[in-house]
Homo-oligomer: A and B are copies of this chain.
Amino acid sequence: MPDDFYEQTPDANAAATEGVMNTIRTADMFFDRIGRLLRPLGVSAAGGLVLGILRDHGTMSPSELGERLIVTRATVTGLLDSLERRGCVIRSANPADRRGLLVSITPAGLTVVKEVRTIIHGNERDWMSVLSDAELRTYVELLHRIQDRLVRS
Contact = CB atoms under 8 A, between A and B. Distances in A.
A121 B13 contact: yes
B121 A9 contact: yes
Contact of A4 (B12, B56, B122, B153): B56
A124 B16 contact: yes
Interface string A129-153: 1110101111110111111111101
A16 B142 contact: no
Given A16-B127, A20-B127, A25-B147, 19 more contacts: A2-B53, A4-B56, A5-B49, A12-B125, A15-B128, A15-B133, A15-B136, A16-B125, A16-B128, A23-B26, A25-B143, A26-B143, A27-B28, A28-B70, A29-B150, A127-B146, A129-B149, A138-B142, A139-B142
A151 B57 CA distance: 35
Contacts of A133: 15
A109 to B, nearest CB: 15
A74 interface: no
Interface of A: 1-2, 4-9, 12-13, 15-20, 22-31, 33, 49, 52-53, 56-57, 68-70, 117, 120-122, 124-131, 133, 135-140, 142-151, 153
A68 B1 CA distance: 7
A25 B68 CA distance: 12
B68 A4 contact: yes
